[in-house]
Structure 1
């Protein structure tokens, strides 16, 4: 097989160490050598560039392109699958070669990427997010109409449930449909007009059943969790990652440290809700108001968590904001006190560890899959990173 060498650049290997001069040799879809003066059959000149491992976004919704309810209501049902293909391509062009879809993408979308029918990052999917009646994922409106963000279909079951027995059933149903991770709402949220982000949803007994079912099949649970009590319920139940974490308090941070729980901040999400409201999107006034109320609190919570040493992985809630703008999250993480090296680690090896891919992805090291991003200039220029992505390689093949 052809041996390709990325030569003459700086290497950020994903371990958190600063970039250093070096070459990366790739063969048969894997990294085979990292060092100096390497030779190969083909050479990619990386002079003046930095090599990064393929990036991760641990919280996306690729089957949704916007939060404007009226626009979504007038799109044909199947339109979402074509949008997903476009959204995946936009994400890949940023150097993001792996995503975790937090609701919406079904097994068909994932398989289309795996089989090469469409270009995109490899995907870990949750299929649909679990909500209690009246909870963050319940699409019932005061008019008595129901407008779900993820319309149920044969590959994406409805997921509003109540009680341990229904929780057990939906966990098994989602895994049958191809879910590799289970997503649950343990608090209210910003985009749901009828609930409060600070209020808890689902009982500890219901959450315990969910974690038990996931664990039995070698899978884990991620929790949309914004209020402190709902965050703590999720951590105590053994849920692996807290998504958003807006109202983290000291007890929650301590629990996360003791349990090794991950935080996926999605700092850009409330900012994108505010932007959408100002742009005239059909959003209830209460939704925009909630986003404005939480944005500063959110940043302060992430700042405290980062300072305490909570494990952090990058995620954006893409769909709340436009796909293809995912890298806006990185300077927001830096503004919360994370160094550029810490931000890039959260977007590479730490994210791979969260998703369970750390033996294969997230580092530029021998034996790892050859996901390589060539960035012009300084990779620590987080604000300019999107425009500086020059080439993207996935499994040793140039895809961008």
Structure 2
């Protein structure tokens, strides 16, 4: 098997060690050596560049590309799958080689990438978000119409459930449909029409049975949780990650630390709502008000969580914002207290640990050779996306 040598570069390995000059050798789809003075059959000159692990976005929506409510109403049903293929390519182009789709993508999307039918990041799927009636995932509108963002189909069950029996059955349906993770909404949200992100949703028993069923299937639970009460309910029940975490108080932060729960901040998401409205998207006044409401509280909560030592994994809610702009999140994480190196570790090793992908996330022997070559200084995270020069997935340049 031929050895591919990445030489003359600096390696940011994602383990916590500072960047340092080193060579990386790849055989097949695996890293086999990292060090100085290595050799190979073919060489990639990395002079002036840093070699990073493939980046991981823990919260995306591949089936949409920016907020466009009217477009979703009028687009042909199958167009979303073609859009996903384009979104996957945009994601790969900025160095993100793995994503967790937090709702929308079904088993076919995951399989299309795995089988090489489309180029894109490796995909974990939640398929549909579980929501109570009147919750973040309920598509009912005041007109009486039902206007879902993700129309149910045979591979994407509807997600509105009430009570423990309905919740248990729906988790089993999602597992049957191929879900890698179960997503629930334990609070209201921003882009949904008839709920409030400050209100907790689902009762303790409902969340407990969801976690029980997911655990029995060997998969974790992620929670859309903006409201303080919704965050606490999720963490106490054993949910693995809190998505957004907009209204954290000290008790919620302490619970997250004690239970080793992850926070996936998605700081760019409410900004995306505001920008979409400014660009002319048909965003309701109520939704826009909620976006403005949460932005300041969101940053303060993430800052509090970072100071307390809550585990942070990189995630963006991209789809709410346009694909290919994912790395804008890095600068916001730095503003909230992470160093640039910590923000990059949140997008590599930490995100890999959250997703349970132990063979990704670092540049070490034995790991899958997902690698990104970047020009210039890694500390300038606000310009990182435009300095990506090559992306390798499993040792193959993509």
Q: Shift in Å at residue 353 of structure 1?
A: 0.1
Structure 1 residue 278 displacement after superposition? 1.1
Q: How much has 1:71 moved relative to structure 2?
A: 1.3
For 1:285, the equivalent position in structure 2 comes to: 285
Residues of 1 paired with 2:65 and 2:272: CA distance? Answer: 12
1:398 aligns with 2:397: yes
Say whether residues 1:8 and 2:8 are aligned partners.
yes
CA–CA distance in structure 1, aligned partners of residues 77 and 195 of structure 2 = 27
CA drift at 1:193: 2.0
Q: In structure 2, the residue corresponding to 1:38 is in which secondary structure? A: coil
Cα shift readout 1:259-313 (whole Å, capped 9, x = no counterpart)? 0000000000001111111111111101111111110110010011001110000
Deviation digits for residues 46-83 of structure 1 (CA, Å, limit 9, x no counterpart): 00000000000000000112222111111000000000
Q: Distance in 1 between matches of 2:279 and 2:376?
A: 34
Deviation at 1:22, TM superposition (A): 0.4
Partner residue in 2 for 1:49? 49
Q: SS at 2:381's partner residue?
A: coil
Please state how far the C-alpha of 1:150 moved relative to its aligned partner: 0.7
Report what 2:263 is aligned to. 263
What is the rounded CA distance, in whole Å, between the counterparts of 1:291 and 1:188 in structure 2? Answer: 12
Matches within 5 A, 1:64-79: 64-79=64-79
Q: CA deviation at 1:125?
A: 0.4
Structure 2 counterpart of 1:152: 152
1:350 is matched with which residue? Answer: 350
**Structure-1 residue corresponding to 2:193:** 193
1:1-400 mapped onto 2 (5 Å cutoff): 1-358=1-358, 360-399=359-398
Q: Is the 8 A contact 1:66 1:321 kept in 2?
A: yes
SS at match of 1:51: strand
Aligned to 1:236, what secondary structure does the other structure show? helix
Secondary structure of the residue aligned to 1:110 is helix
Is the Cα contact below 8 Å between 1:186 and 1:200 reproduced in 2?
Answer: yes
Inter-partner Cα distance in structure 2 for 1:383 and 1:234? 32
Aligned residue for 1:10, secondary structure, equals strand
1:209 and 1:202 mapped to 2: Cα distance?
Answer: 11
CA distance in 2, matches of 1:108, 1:272: 28
Measured against aligned partners, the alpha-carbon deviations of 1:215-268 in whole angstroms (never above 9, x if no partner) come to 001111000000100000000000000000000000000000000000000000
Partners of 2:266 and 2:142 lie apart in 1 by 29
1:365-394 deviations in Å (ceiling 9; x for gaps): 000000000001112210110110000000
TM-score by length of 2: 0.99
Structure 2 CA distance for aligned equivalents of residues 55 and 38 of structure 1:
25
Any conservation in 2 of the 1:51–1:372 contact (CA below 8 Å)? yes
DSSP-derived class of the 2:144 partner: coil
State the 1:323 CA deviation.
0.4
Shift of 1:2: 1.3
C-alpha contact 1:244 1:267 (8 A) present in aligned 2: yes
List runs of 5+ in structure 2 lacking aligned partners: none
Judge conservation of contact 1:7–1:47 (CA < 8 Å) in 2. yes
SS in 1 for 2:327: helix
For 1:18 and 1:340, the matched residues in 2 are separated by: 11
User: Are the equivalent residues in 2 in contact too, given 1:17–1:341 (CA < 8 A)?
Assistant: no
SS at match of 1:197: coil
Secondary structure, counterpart of 1:326 in structure 2? coil
For residues 286 and 229 of structure 1, the distance between their equivalents in structure 2, rounded to whole angstroms, comes to 22
